[in-house]
Structure 1
Amino acid sequence: TPIAGQTPISQQLHQRLQEQVHSSPASDFMGFMAEYLNHHVQLDLEALRHGHPQLRHLSTALVTACRALHSEIDFTLAGLETLARVFDPPASPRSPAREQGLLTSDPD
């Protein structure tokens, strides 16, 4: 359903956004972009028409969305690091690097 006051391009972008598959971080990002397209794209277009080169509302939406994605990445990396520590084999006391060290320190 078209939203009053939206340009045809923003209506089309909003429609495509709604068609996307919604996983947790992706749906959060899509939500921020849908909010921008629904409520703020017109304000940015007006600002552009009046000579303001920044897309202030888009920038704000992207910063907010990126913060959420960054948090998700941090959480995922922490989990992967934990898994790596759990599943990495323990260092062997006779590893090749240790063997090298023993050979070079041998006085013979």
Structure 2
Amino acid sequence: MTYKSTVTNLGKTVRRLRKSKDMTQEQLAEAVECNVDTISNIERGAKAARLDTIVGIAAVFGVEVGELFDVQPRNLPDETLKLLTLLENQPVDIIKTVTEQAKVLIRHKK
């Protein structure tokens, strides 16, 4: 993984988490105690984030710092990656509904 891809992946993850919580960049910046331009730059992959900002973002979303960098699931079938890509920008309630329906499908397949 290159420096640029790491910065880009971090930005994608932050944006996805922020949108899943229906937060604006301004709200996230306030929660993390940083400037809104900082959040914008992180999400666009324009600048690397400082460690204290990364830790603050992880805390706001209740995730481990490492999870902010894990955006590309590895070794998954193409069909699964396509489904994940479709779900990536959906609201949390949609993702939860799809998850529940998938569980029903799994029970019926057994």
TM-score (norm 2): 0.23
Compute the TM-score of the two structures, normalised by the length of structure 1: 0.23
Which protein has the larger Cα radius of gyration, Structure 1 or Structure 2? 1
Whose relative contact order is higher, 1 or 2, with alpha carbons under 8 Å and at least 6 apart? 2
